[in-house]
Structure 1
Amino acid sequence: MLLNEVYFWTATINDWKHLLANDEFKNIIINSLEELVSREKIIVYAFAIMPNHIHIIWKMKALNGKEMPYASFNKFTAHQFQKLLQQNQSDFLNQFKVDELERKYRFWQRDALAILMDSREKVFQKIEYIHNNPVQEKWNLAKESADYKWSSAKFYETEIDDFNFLTHISEAL
């Protein structure tokens, strides 16, 4: 990913485990996004947190130290996931154990999908996809996309930003 470009980004929990079904883990993601936005490292245009993956349309504005903000996001959230699981669900934590030199646990699958949003049509198609994901029959997380608490759909329908970190995509186009 390049700085100052808008991307559709999908990150998946390792082995598609439903770690993010629990709201405490969703809040870790929200807190990380909020922090990176407040420090002007990213701009978040749209997102949805699903039980085992997340979709975000965002722009990396500046490096976070020596690393790209998405790397900081992955690192911070993984550390917080581990901490929370160690306190409450050590059996579930063991399902994320890996035999790697640089880490003991892996929460995010390697190589998140990053697609450059190089046209208006592509951006709006992906926003629609993100917002409709929770209402798909497979997930059935809400009846209407704007009713799903863990996405930006309500913001696009009502202009109410419950997360205080969203930027409307029209500002990027």
Structure 2
Amino acid sequence: MNIFHKRQGQMDYNYPYFYTDTICDFRNLLENDQFKLIVMNSLQFLVQQKLVEIYGYVIMPNHIHLIWNMLKLNGKESPVASFTKFTAHQFRKYLITHNPHLLEHYKSKKEDRHYQFWKRDPLAIPLSTENILIQKLDYIHENPIKDRWRLCKYPEDYAWSSARFYKDGIDNFGILKHFRD
């Protein structure tokens, strides 16, 4: 695996990655639970189609972190491309119906699209050992309790994270696989 000649967000198949994707201009689009549900619906589809395995996640107000493994292409596109494309279309659809004035914030200057919700070049870091994976999982789960966010008191109390799964075995969205399984 040659990770040094790839774009930041490019991932090999059948290898776990710590993945971060951020909303353009760090806007808090994901603060609204409807947008979090769009993210979860996309992840559920990818898991149900056996395109990815997800070992951990957190959805923050302006970014997401995942620990996942790409298993195979979704037709001709990668699962991550399917994820970003689907969520962007659904974000746009929701905004047109509920907050059309907010669409202005996501207008793209690029020729190939009208809107851009996710920043270009997400971060994908290969996880070469279990210790590194656990370190990233802890980082993900501690995100909501950090001073900057204060979204909950305990990591397992945040509904948009896998922390509860690792503490109590509860997977409210049916997308998780324990990294040791």
> What TM-score range do you get, normalising by the shorter chain?
over 0.9
Alignment TM-score, normalising by the size of structure 2: 0.94
Q: 2:162 maps to which residue?
A: 152
- For structure 1, the 5+ residue unaligned runs are none
* Structure 2 segments unaligned to the other structure (5+ residues): 1-10
Match of 1:48 in 2: 58
Aligned equivalents of 2:105 and 2:174: distance in 1? Answer: 34
SS, match of residue 169 in structure 1: coil
Is 1:79 aligned with 2:97? no
Q: Match of 1:137?
A: 147
- CA distance in 1 between counterparts of 2:136 and 2:154 reads 17
* Secondary structure in structure 2 of the residue aligned to 1:76: helix
Aligned with 1:3 (options 3, 13, 25)? 13
Separation (CA, whole Å) in 1 of partners of 2:133 and 2:54: 13
SS at match of 2:19: strand
Instruction: Please point out which of 69, 77, 90 is paired with 1:67.
Output: 77
Q: Deviations over 1:58-113 (max 9, x none)?
A: 00001001111001000000000000001011111111001211100000000000
Q: Which amino acid aligns with 1:112?
A: P
* Residues 1:165 and 2:180 aligned together: no
Structure 2 residue corresponding to 1:25, chosen from 32, 35, 59 = 35
Question: What is the deviation of 1:156?
Answer: 0.3
* Alignment partner, residue 5 of structure 2: none
Name which of structure 1's ranges 71-80 and 160-169 shifts more when overlaid on structure 2: 160-169
Which contiguous aligned blocks of 4+ residues in structure 1 show a shift greater than 3 angstroms?
A: none
- The CA deviation string for residues 151-172 of structure 1, in whole angstroms up to 9 with x for no partner, is 000000001111111000112x
Q: Give the secondary-structure state (helix, strand or coil) at the position aligned to 1:95.
A: helix
Choose 42-51 or 90-99, whichever is displaced more: 90-99
Q: TM-score, normalised by structure 1?
A: 0.98
CA distance in 2, matches of 1:120, 1:39: 26
SS in 2 for 1:170: coil
- The aligned length equals 171
CA RMSD in angstroms, aligned pairs only: 0.5
